[in-house]
Amino acid sequence: LIISSSASRSFIDKVQKKVKGVTICSVKDIASSSSSGSGVCVFLTPSSKTDYQEARKLAEGGCSTVIVNGLFKDQKSVPQEATMAYFLKPLTYNSQVAGFLVRSYPSQWTVVDASEQSAVLGTFSDKQILVPRTNTPDLREGVRLVQKSADEKAIRARSMQ
């Protein structure tokens, strides 16, 4: 398990107490080593260009690499051929979390209602939701769905009074 280079020492210590049976390190710890080959590396919430560069080096070196909750800001960070496997993003409306965009590969991207988490508001394929030539989801349609759901709930609540 590889933690972002911006993670504090106390955060790494907390993760080490919670997660057993795996090696946990910071990107800072692996940046100077020449890690490659078989195995699986899981990058937890990478936040800098260095984090993504190290993930890419490991993947190109033959290590199966998983990035959890990554937001790819530029096309050079992660190749567009990579698959976003796991993703969770709160979607807000009126300054409150109204839903979530979720991805758990191989399932589609799913927008769920925050107050009724079993309520699926919509699903999207990679082609429908990813910004072209990136791994970044376009959140606009998901936000529209949670806005519509919140508005409909408010209208129903007012009509029942």
The predicted model gives 3-26 an average pLDDT of 83
Q: Is the pLDDT of residue 38 over 80?
A: no
Q: Is the pLDDT of residue 148 over 90?
A: yes
Q: Is the pLDDT of residue 72 over 60?
A: no
Please state, in angstroms and rounded to a whole number, the distance separating the CA atoms of residues 52 and 44.
11
Please state, in angstroms and rounded to a whole number, the distance separating the CA atoms of residues 48 and 60.
19
Query: 86: which strand partners?
Result: 68, 104
Q: Is the pLDDT of residue 61 over 60?
A: yes
Q: Is the pLDDT of residue 37 over 60?
A: no
Residue type, 47: S
- Across 5-14, 68-77, 102-111, 119-128, least confident range: 68-77
pTM above 0.75, yes or no: no
CB proximity list for 19: less than 8 A, separation 6 or greater: 1
